[in-house]
Chain A
Amino acid sequence: MLFKIANLTHFFGGLKAVDDFNIEIGPRQIIGLIGPNGAGKTTVFNLITGFYKPTGGKIFFDDKDITGLPPHIITSRGIVRTFQNIRLFNTMSVLENVTIARHYRMKYGIAAAVARLPSFRREEHVVEEKAMEYLSLFHLDAKAYLPAGSLPYGEQRRLEIARALATEPRLLLLDEPAAGMNNAEALDLMHLIKKIAEEFRLSIFLIEHQMPVVMGIAEQIHVLDFGKTLAVGPPQEIKNNPQVIQAYLGEGALQ
């Protein structure tokens, strides 16, 4: 198993934000995570990527325990995420945004940078080409030298995914990638995500609010409500699960 969470639990003070969460993700699987606002979806992401240390439970990647490691180590192991509210390096260029994702794969030291040694030039040349490849994949190469903050919303979303991919992850976590998009745009994005998942042989774990979107690409969906797992199953089953409908639409929706 590529990725596994066992009995993950997290408290914020007295509030149980995540309650006994379990999941297994195999290679090249796309798994969805849905649930009403405040269900604990983003908290699960924060626990996986090391921004929070879980109160209880274990997280395994490649059969190794990665529970509680800091985010930059998690990234170097091969898990990376995007953020619900876009977090780009706004005044830096689009190209620089992507080259930062390659930072931990580069080797040259401070002395090489200051003295502009050949290793500096070689690596910088390689990283620029590599970053350009990722940008052209997302049709952002023409804007490589513009500040990232100057891009329109949709392109900022794409840049964030391009930047995440540039770390060469094996598991990509997407936190509401289609937030703020209309249905057509969201579906376009989902096709793109599906395409890159195949191309890069990625596993994807995504949070999404727009049902048609997540139904279209996820093999399996986990539903969270008040930190508890409400249901797990393929999209069709989830769509007709009375408990899920109740959590989303409230009591009485079934009558």
Chain B
Amino acid sequence: MKTSHYALLGLAGFYLLVMVTSTLGIMNDYVLRVLNLILINIILGVSLNLINGYTGLFSIGHAGFMIVGGYVAGFMTTLLFGITRDTPYLQALPLFLVAILVAALVSAFVGFLIGLPALRLSDDYLAIVTIGFGEIIRVVFNFITFKKKVGDWELDIGGPRGLLGIPPLSNFTIIFLFTLFTILFIRNFVFSRHGRACMAIRENEVAAHMMGINITRYKVLAFVLGSTFAGIGGALLAHFIQLLHPTMGGFTKSVEYLIIVYLGGMGSISGTIVAAAVLTALSEFLRPIGELRMVLYGALLVFLMLKRPAGLMGQREFPFLLPERERKSYAVQNR
């Protein structure tokens, strides 16, 4: 049996295990909740890794794209489609999927608008522009309170109060499938001529340009793809925690995703998965010690960065995430 078959079996097993234990009540809602948050953080981490880790850009506004996706999807399901928590799930699901798709497209478009001008300049500009973008988005959602009566609905995305009453449409199955999709998409992208082009830009931009790679095109492409998946992650998160707040798009949240990527390893999907799981679970386990949590969390990060500056995984991948050809490459396994 091939490694990929084992991986498939493992995933199916994991899914069934979670479904059975949670329905039987062996796994309580709290643990399931943490698990879902981990999966959503994986989506955001892996997509940010494509931008910062594989292409070597420096985006500090990932949460901005996340919340754009969240607000778009939340607006559509809550206000446009009028879905409430009482709407039958099968009736709401197709509309939810449409909302996720639109959220992804809008985030991609915003990513393109931000990325194209910034990425034509040198890389430092992207960092500045994305910081600015995150803050602008936060402020914009803080101030938009267009209360308009349209027929029976009152269109109101809440302003500083946040968008409330979003129906809980993100269940474990949906989140699990989208996480798989994200990982598979980005993994297949990375191990192709397109991903090689991105990595070549990271390794040596001048040489990549000379080897016939349109570097601006690939930088924008990586940035837009990353933003797209951030939008999907945001849409899922909004319908999981059932509320959106402007601060979720701000700098602090973006740094959380940066930490996931850098702790896991720049240019390692496996690393991002591990780091998302460790950090999300850790911040929950440390809840009992209250305020001290952030102190310990910070100390741990400092310790890990001193001990493993390249992140937990460096640029390595779990074997089951590697395509067959790359698996025999020492360079890919040990970089």
What residues make up the interface of A, taking CB atoms closer than 8 Å to B?
A: 49, 51, 70-72, 75-76, 80-81, 83, 87-96, 99-101, 103-104, 106, 108, 110, 113-116, 120, 123-124, 127-128, 145-148, 163, 167
CA distance A123 to B215 in the complex (A): 22
Count of A-B contacts judged by CB separation below 8 Å: 117
Select one of A90, A101, A113, A148 contacting B211, CB under 8 A.
A101
Q: B213 in the interface, Cβ–Cβ < 8 Å?
A: yes
Check if B87 is an interface residue, CB within 8 A of chain A.
no
Q: Which residue of the partner chain A has the closest CB to B207?
A: A87
A118 to B135, CA, bound (A): 44
Can you spell out 18 A-B residue pairs with CB atoms less than 8 angstroms apart?
A72-B213, A72-B215, A75-B210, A81-B210, A92-B331, A93-B330, A99-B193, A103-B212, A108-B192, A108-B193, A113-B192, A145-B328, A145-B330, A145-B332, A146-B330, A146-B331, A163-B211, A167-B211
Total count of chain B residues near the partner, CB < 8 A: 34
Once bound together, how far apart are the Cα atoms of A223 and B253, in whole Å? 59
Query: Are A99 and B212 in touch, CB under 8 angstroms?
Result: no
Binding site for A on B (CB under 8 A): 184-185, 188-189, 192-197, 199-200, 203-204, 206-215, 221, 315, 325, 328-332, 334-335
The docked-state distance in angstroms from the alpha carbon of A124 to that of B213 is 17
Contact of A91 among B209, B210, B331 (CB under 8 A): B331
A154 to B246, CA, bound (A): 56
Task: Take A108-B193, A128-B325 as given contacts and tell me if A92 and B200 are in contact as well, using a CB distance cutoff of 8 Å.
Answer: yes
Assembled-state Cα–Cα distance A80/B211 (Å) = 8
Indicate whether A95 sits within 8 Å of B203 (C-beta atoms), given known contacts A72-B215, A100-B208.
Answer: no
Chain A residues with CB under 8 A of B184 = 114
* CB atoms of B209 and A72 under 8 A apart: yes
Alpha-carbon separation in the docked complex, A89 to B193 (Å):
14
Q: Which of B185, B207, B331 contacts A93 (CB 8 A)?
A: B331
| Docked pose: A227 CA to B193 CA in angstroms | 40
Establish whether residues B332 and A93, one from each chain, have CB atoms under 8 Å apart when the complex forms.
yes
A107 to chain B, nearest CB (A): 9
12 extra interchain contacts, Cβ-Cβ under 8 A, other than A90-B203, A92-B335, A145-B328?
A49-B210, A72-B212, A72-B215, A81-B210, A87-B206, A88-B203, A96-B199, A110-B189, A110-B194, A114-B192, A163-B211, A167-B211
Residues of B within 8 A of A95 (CB): 329
CB of A100 within 8 A of CB of B197, answer yes
Q: Which residue of A lies closest to B206 (CB)?
A: A87
Q: Which of B189, B211, B212, B334 contacts A114 (CB 8 A)?
A: B189
Residue of B184, B203, B221, B334 contacting most chain A CB atoms (<10 Å): B203
Taking chain B's interface residues, is the majority helix, strand, or loop, or is none over half, making it mixed? Answer: helix
Shortest beta-carbon distance from A137 to chain B in Å: 18
| CB <8 Å contact, B188 and A116 | yes
Q: What is the minimal beta-carbon distance from A110 to any residue of chain B, in angstroms?
A: 6
Q: Which residue of B lies closest to A127 (CB)?
A: B193
B207 neighbours in A (Cβ, 8 Å): 83, 87-89
Question: B199 to A92, Cβ gap below 8 A?
Answer: yes
Name which residue of chain B comes closest to A144, CB basis. B329
Task: Give Cα A148–Cα B329 distance, bound, in whole angstroms.
Answer: 12
Choose among B199, B211, B328, B332 the residue with the greatest number of A CB atoms under 10 Å from its CB.
Answer: B211
In the complex, A163→B331 CA distance in Å? 17
A113 & B193 in contact (Cβ 8 Å cutoff): yes
Please pick, from A70, A89, A104, A123, the residue contacting B204 in the complex, using a CB distance under 8 A: A89
Q: Shortest Cβ distance from A82 into chain B, in angstroms? A: 9
Are the CB atoms of A99 and B196 closer together than 8 Å? Answer: yes
Q: How far is the CB of B190 from chain A (nearest CB, A)?
A: 9
7 closest residue pairs by CB, A with B: A93-B331, A113-B192, A104-B212, A89-B203, A87-B207, A75-B212, A147-B331
Q: Contacts of A128 on B, CB cut-off 8 Å?
A: 325
Partner of B206, one of A83, A96, A106, A145: A83
Residue among A51, A71, A81, A146 facing the most chain B CB atoms (10 A cut-off): A71
Which residues of the partner chain B approach A49 to less than 8 Å between Cβ atoms? Answer: 210
Give the shortest distance, in Å, between A156 (CB) and chain B (any CB).
12
Q: Which residue of B lies closest to A128 (CB)?
A: B325
With both beta carbons as reference points, the residue of chain A lying nearest to B191 in the complex is identified as A113
A100 proximity list for chain B (CB < 8 A): 196-197, 200, 208, 211, 213
Q: CA separation between A147 and B326, bound complex, in Å?
A: 12
Kindly list chain A residues whose C-beta atoms are within 8 Å of the C-beta of B315: 91
Q: Is the CB of B335 within 8 A of A96?
A: no
Cα–Cα distance between A106 and B195 once the two chains are bound (Å): 13
A106 to B335, CA, bound (A): 26
